[in-house]
Amino acid sequence: MRTFYRARLAALAALALSLAATAGAQSAGNSGSIDGTVTDPTGAVVSKARVEIRNPVSGFDRSATTDSSGKFQFTNIPFNPYHLTVTAPGFAAYVQDVEPRSSVPVSVAIKMQVAGSTEQVTVEAEGGDLIENDPTFHTDVDKNLFDKLPLESQSSSVSSLVTLATPGISADSNGLFHGLGDHAENSFSVDGQPITDQQSKVFSNQIPLDAIQSMEVISGAPPAEYGDKTSIVINVTTQSGQGVTTPHGSLTASYGSFGTSNVDFNLAYGGQKWGNFISASGLNSGRFLDPPEFAVMHDKGNEENLFDRVDYQLTTADSIHVNFEYTRSWFQTPNTFDTQKATPWNGVVVNNGGLDPRGNVVGASDQRSQIQTFNIAPSWTRLINNATVFTMGAFVRRDHFNYYPSGNPFADLGPTNLQREAVGQDRTLTNTGLRSQLSYVKGIHNMKAGAVYQQTFLNENDQLGIVDPTLLPSLSDANGNPCYNPTTHQAIDAPCTDLLPFDLTQPGGGSLFNFKGHTDVKELALYVEDNITKGPWAFNLGLRGDFYNGLSTHKEGEPRLGVAYNIKRTNTVLRVSYARVLETPFNENLILSSVGCNNAVLNPLLGCFEAGQPTPLAPGWRNEFHAGIQQAFGRYVVFSGEYIWKYTHNGYDFSILGNTPITFPVEWERSKIPGYAGRVSVPNLHGFSALAVFSSVAARFFTPQIGGAGAVPSAVLAAGSTPFRIDHDEKFNLTTHIQYQPWKTGPWFGFNWRYDSGLVAGQTPCFGGNCAQTMTDSTGAPAIAMTDSFGAPLTADQEFEAGLFCGSVRATPTRALPNPCPVSQFGSTLLQVPAPNSENDDKNPPRIAARSLFDMAIGHDNIFKGDKYKVSLRLTAINVTNKYALYNFLSTFSGTHYVTPRTLTAELGFHF
């Protein structure tokens, strides 16, 4: 502990000394700049020359005009290689490759040559322009792509973009995605600000998509500057108004299926030394979350978002940058047919005529959530000299999550032990921190050294009350005897004596159990790295040290190494890399998960499978290896692929509480995640471009569960240390996007095909002779019981949700299948059911059935061919074929969710 505090104080002192020694950048922390002067053969300046930088793979394209002194400047440029072209009347075209890789400005001196009067200039990318000699596997996504990409989720559009445009991503519901076999081990870096907490719509509110200029998604071994949660690192560069001397912006409005409406306004304006970009939007939808039924019930939601970025250049050496965001979202928890009709009180759990123990009509479940997100992140950059830049930043981000139970708590009772308590929650997560980085570029070296200190303040306030009258009678004492007398309504022994005061079903009622927790998590990271380029070789050498001090403590030294070799003759890049990574516990519900299973009241209510688990949750550590290739085929196609192998001690996931968006982090002894990912790009060719990303990733976790709240499947417990595939394991997925715009100022068309082979399914009925729930029917033939993996009976609606059938009989929300069903007649239209006697939690688990989803968009960015003012129209269709499919089913870690039905949206925009 003392070592941690000494290291923390030393780092803070170093930050203070740096601040005092250098009095106040040219860009945000994750973007660069390019400037230069254009002259003729005599050295005289050339004004009004057109300068263009372009990356043919990402689609980034920007142009500028030299001023009266022949100077030009591009700021806020993502770190990538660019093809720079300069043209001017009477001069031959000048072509040069430039590659900003840090916040140190790239300066170029351009001398134009006189050309013949009839010379025509045609500049096209060659094969060498399509590849990057970079040891780190990553995908560059520019605004030119995602402006025309049909996206499934308007409230989690950034997650949808990452899922569709980058390899290694398995799609999940509610804006969640699984990066390279992990759940939520993803981080964002927004203009250099690290954000490692959950960013899906049930945890936090994302940055609006129209505030983003470009993204770099790192799927390879992360460089030393990135830590904490690094399966996928999403490096975001936001839009800036600096240099936009004529105001530019847009006002768009859309309306579509499920009564979804959206209004968005953004404006960029500034001068050469200052700029402001502001975005404001509002969304209202009748299908805000992905529900557990294909039909939509009780699923309204809205979101209001404000983002503002301010840039100001104080001197030629000093500049400041501030990001501000406030977002509020409110949404209902979608109902199943069971919870919509209050069937738990109509015979599923107890037959009471739809009345609660007090004689009141229960009614439909009405669970709701509200999330308020606030973020402010100022930074200051100083250009020390032409080779050195210092950046200092601070940030404060706060998520305030409120979960409201139904007005009648008994309406929250779920079928078959899915949810046995009414729950309310009020929690806050406040992340504050300082970051500093010194960048130095000289010769073959591109060095960075930095420190990040952050402190996360957690407050958790929960209320729980038992609403299942069968819970106490089902419990036993330490000797296996009943601990509750249902006749006298008296508790005989623990755990019933602990729970009885909070059982709302008792005569006279009970009270709510209150849990309050507070802690603050301190993290310090120090790193140094050097990107070395020598001929065809590229090296990334780095070392990171992480110090974690929360409910547990841990420190880890993390070497990072990457090597790439460019075979220029064949336009091939070969690369290998290694990273040691510290993975910290999830902050959402960290306190409750760390102490809950040792609490006599919380243990049975949270579904803990045993008491006395090691607490609190502790960080894990990972070794990961990557090997990849990038290959350009002429100037038309580029392929990039990577093989990944990750081995983790203390692997993390989430468990979900009933039919709520409340989740708890859980920790397993270890995990092994091998897989591959790839990308094929076709740069713009006469208006046609294409992108295909694919992956196959195994997610093998090993028991025992060593921490966290939440029950695990009985089959897993029985398996001992046998590995099992967790529900973000997917054999194969593929996204293909094609885009065509035959005329640069004409209409355009975009099309997506997303194929998913299916995630591992949750509590499906066991199938085959190796499950305890199998039996024989009346004829003696092998049969299967309609129960989940815990042995609890499925309701008719749950059988319907899973698409189960028995012979010619199909389950409906109100009609269950024959029970048991002969093995020869049992099957599902929505699940992949293993063959008899072949089910294996590791080698052959039940899965969601494979699905193909098709989306398309067609639009025109300038209908009336205006010059200063433009009117746009866009039509988008999601799930064009109205595919009836699941994301997951009764997953311990995700619940049940369907993909979006066919959704049509029309958008009208005014641009200036």
DSSP of 507-545, one letter per residue? TT----EEEEEEEEEEEEEEEEEEEEEETTEEEEEEEEE
Condensed to tens digits (0 to 9), the pLDDT of residues 567-578 reads 999 999 999 999
Q: Give mean pLDDT, residues 580-587.
A: 94
Question: Between these two residues, 782 and 125, which has the higher pLDDT value?
Answer: 782
Structure confidence at residue 29 (pLDDT): 62
Model confidence at 127, in pLDDT bands (50, 70, 90)? low
Q: Given a cut of 50, is residue 23 above it in pLDDT?
A: no
Condensed to tens digits (0 to 9), the pLDDT of residues 737-746 reads 999 999 888 9
Measure Cα distances from 618 to 140, 519, 571, 647, 649 in Å. 34, 15, 45, 17, 10
The neighbour count for residue 509, using CB atoms within 10 Å, is 11
Q: Given a cut of 90, is residue 788 above it in pLDDT?
A: no
Three-state helix/strand/coil letters over 175-201: CCEEECCEECCEEEEECCEEECCCCCC
Sequence-distant (6+) residues with CB within 8 A of 643 are 626, 627, 628, 674, 675, 676
Q: Which of 397-411, 595-609, 661-675 has the highest mean pLDDT?
A: 397-411
Condensed to tens digits (0 to 9), the pLDDT of residues 65-122 reads 998 888 998 888 888 888 899 998 888 889 888 888 888 888 899 998 887 644 444 4
Model confidence at 268, in pLDDT bands (50, 70, 90)? very high
Q: Given a cut of 90, is residue 156 above it in pLDDT?
A: no
Q: Given a cut of 70, is residue 648 above it in pLDDT?
A: yes
> Alpha-carbon distance 785 to 823, whole Å?
10
Structure confidence at residue 727 (pLDDT): 87
Q: Where are the alpha helices (DSSP H) in 262-372?
A: 337-340
Sequence-distant (6+) residues with CB within 8 A of 44 are none
Question: Between these two residues, 594 and 250, which has the higher pLDDT value?
Answer: 250
Structure confidence at residue 844 (pLDDT): 87
Least confident of 32-36, 657-661, 750-754: 657-661
Report the mean per-residue pLDDT for the chain: 87
Q: Give mean pLDDT, residues 887-910.
A: 90
Structure confidence at residue 772 (pLDDT): 41
Structure confidence at residue 769 (pLDDT): 40
pLDDT > 90: percent of the chain: 57
- CA nearest to 78, candidates 42, 102, 51, 48: 102
Measure Cα distances from 853 to 17, 166, 694, 712, 736 in Å. 55, 17, 15, 31, 11
Condensed to tens digits (0 to 9), the pLDDT of residues 686-701 reads 889 999 999 999 999 9
Q: Given a cut of 50, is residue 715 above it in pLDDT?
A: no
What residue has token string 């394209």? 61
> Alpha-carbon distance 735 to 130, whole Å?
21
Q: Give mean pLDDT, residues 361-374.
A: 93
**Maximum distance among all alpha carbons in the chain?**
105
> Alpha-carbon distance 388 to 865, whole Å?
46
Q: Is 144 helix (H, G, I), strand (E, B) or coil?
A: helix
> Alpha-carbon distance 596 to 204, whole Å?
23
Q: Give mean pLDDT, residues 483-511.
A: 91
> Alpha-carbon distance 620 to 491, whole Å?
41
